[in-house]
Chains A and B, each alone.
Chain A
Amino acid sequence: MYDWLLFLHVLAAFALVATVVIFSAFAFGAVREPRVLTVANVLWAVGGLGTLVLGIWLAIYVDGYEVWDGWIIAAIVLWAIANELGRRAQAGFIAAPGRRGEEVAPALPRNAALMHWLRSGIVLALLVVMVYKPGA
């Protein structure tokens, strides 16, 4: 049970990072094909839900961890901030979609790119907290 919870939790985290990578390509000027954008947004939704639900489940399941441990609270707060930044980034990217077959991506709203890069930083911080578990 623990193995599957951990595997699915980590897999969900990979989905989150995959979204960050795809959005980074768009932020660097890659053509924003709407269907690729949809793939990224679905990965973010699945990864976001998976990391939170499975992470809390793990915290309850594993002896020695509690949901109110400082590093877990920090991770949940970072997760919430990343999601809000992600929501704003996605809104900006969707508002300026690419068109099928176009060679050059249209200009991206500056705020959307900023929200994306902030989200990327928060996701990185989240990974650091998960790996090092400060205070655990």
Chain B
Amino acid sequence: MLVGALVLAGAAMALAWRNGSAPLARLSYRALLLGAIPSWILMRAGAEWIASKEDLTADSDLSWISIGFTTADAGIVVLLVATLCAGLALRRARRNEGAAGLGRASAVLVSLLVVAYVVVIWAMTTKPI
């Protein structure tokens, strides 16, 4: 759900910044606020649960565990900044003030998150050391 919401937000914001579309900026903002952030909380809680159950912690020497925890914890900061940028972009788009910069920033941050989570999916499935 987290990755899906990020893909939706990124696609909508990438389209919104080109033509300053307020509805698309709103779709992106809502996808982040109502989709990605709650999904991140679910994902992080689930990760902690399974790590505890399997006796794996963030301090583990296993690199795939470290990649997961590091990306998840840094990811929420990036996600919050991207959501803030999307919210400000939406407000500016509604006022016809030009929101290209904020929209672009949000889309870039969301794209970075998607790439980071693909790396995490790789780490979680292949479990390198």
Contact = CB atoms under 8 A, between A and B. Distances in A.
Interface of A: 3-4, 6-7, 10-11, 14, 17-22, 25, 30-31, 33, 35-36, 39, 43, 100-103
Can you list the 7 inter-chain pairs with the closest CB atoms, starting with the nearest? A21-B4, A18-B4, A3-B126, A31-B23, A7-B125, A18-B7, A22-B8
Given A7-B121, A10-B124, A21-B7, 15 more contacts: A11-B121, A19-B4, A25-B8, A25-B31, A25-B35, A30-B27, A33-B12, A33-B24, A35-B15, A36-B12, A36-B15, A100-B19, A101-B19, A101-B21, A103-B22
Interface residues of B, number: 25
Interface string B24-36: 1011001100010
A61 to B, nearest CB: 15
B4 A39 contact: no
B80 interface: no
A103 B31 CA distance: 16
Given A25-B27, A100-B19, A103-B23, A39 B11 contact: yes
A31 B4 CA distance: 17
Residue among A18, A19, A35 having the largest count of chain B Cβ atoms under 10 Å? A18
Contacts of A22: 4, 7-8, 11
